[in-house]
Amino acid sequence: MIKILKNEELRKKLLFSVLVIFVFRILAHIPVPGVDLNAVRSFLSSSAIFGLFDLFSGGGLKNFSIVTLGLGPYINASIIIQLFTKIIPALEELSKEGEAGREKINLYTKFLTVPLAFIQSYGVYFLLNRQTVIGELGALQLSVLMFSLISGSMILIWLGDLVTEYGIGQGISLLIFVGIVSRLPSGVLNMVSLVDKYNIFVVLLVLAVSILLILAIVLVNEGTRNIPIEYGRRGVRSQKVTNFLPIKINQAGVIPIIFAVSLVLVPSLISGPLLATSSLFLQRIGWFLSKNFTSTAVMYNVFYFFLVFGFTFFYTFMQFDPEKIADDVKKRGGFIPGIRPGKATATYLKAITIRLTLVGALFLGLIAILPFIIQSATGLSNLTIGGTGILIVVSVVLDTIRQTESMMVTRNYQSFLQ
């Protein structure tokens, strides 16, 4: 930290990131006009399913602030665009054009975020209206509510981009990180209340599990398998040049869980409107969803686990293409010892990636349903251990540290050249 503060460029980046975080926390406490905040809080406190929503809005949902939607629309748009990248050839070619292509895809993602935010903002009003939390609103009042929510979501995306460009760390991830950390004081108070209500040894067990979980997350996130690549004999002394291709156990990071969160809540959200219909068939579907897709239901957690598991493989192979890497290695005259260049190398890399990703996917899936496992084992029904929150916090901290160290090394290298 002292080295960062001594470095003028890093100090400015750090201060800028802190300023954006401060703005974000202010936005999370600006309520949407024309809404009874006490009624909303009362409803949300009795609905555990909205805890994940509140997690990614940094308390915005609990306060029903202008950032209630959080980064949800942007995350959903990212999922859709990445799916289209594999389906639409033009987008696939665009994704291969380097930084310029990624910027265009990011722009398309933002364009898609607006209609998704519009749909989600109306969905929030429809849900709260059906639960009699918000009364019937006129066209003008409804427009104010919806555009306030849409604007708040787009402001968060803009702030995230500012942090990525001018601050330290990845902006979107950092804002999610801040939202989780903002819940820490209430989590500590909740843990203190558990000491009085439950056996002290049970609480200590939960704390021990949390510490072990942090260690496991660090080990899995930092765990890699280095594949040796030789580039033949070069120079007068005919020495072999050997490099290593690192393949991480968890190449997808926290993205699969973030994607899964956006989908796992859909059944419970649509159950309310289905129950309110006049169709007996739709009411039965709504009753089934409302009963089996709560955070304490087995079906919900099984569905959540397989969503995370599937998204881990999907995102990993979106980012890591064994055939492309094998082709690049072959073009540069390299080979993996004992493996023929070309197709055999691609098959070898794919097999290793599948095995490593299997471990990472199982780990992420267990992290996602950890609260359900802990509650089932200990009986602490009001426990919010937040395996997902811990994973995101640790991952963002590790990534930010790596970026900071990289900036410092680059800065020192430039100073040495000068």
Answer yes or no: CATH 1.10.3370.10 is held by domain 1-182.
Answer: yes
Task: State pLDDT tens for residues 52-80.
Answer: 566 655 556 667 788 888 888 888 888 78
Class of domain 186-385: mainly alpha
Within the chain, all domains assigned CATH 1.10.3370.10 are found at 1-182, 186-385
Return the pLDDT at 355: 92
Task: State pLDDT tens for residues 264-323.
Answer: 877 877 777 777 778 888 888 888 887 888 777 888 889 989 999 998 998 888 778 888
Q: Which of 315, 312, 305, 301 is nearest to 359 (CA)?
A: 312
User: Facing residues of 234 across strands?
Assistant: 239
Do 174 and 396 touch, CB atoms closer than 8 A?
yes
Look over the chain and give the mean of its residue pLDDT values, rounded to a whole number.
Answer: 79
Task: State pLDDT tens for residues 92-121.
Answer: 788 777 778 888 888 899 999 999 999 888
% of residues, the chain, pLDDT over 90: 7
Give the CA distances from residue 157 to residues 69, 98, 146, 183, 400, in Å, rounded to whole numbers and listed in that order: 11, 22, 17, 21, 19
199 pLDDT higher than 70:
no
% of residues, the chain, pLDDT over 70: 81
Return the pLDDT at 343: 86
The pairs formed by 266-270 with CB atoms below 8 angstroms and a separation of 24 or more are: 267/292, 267/293, 267/300, 267/303, 268/49, 268/293, 268/294, 268/300, 269/123, 269/127
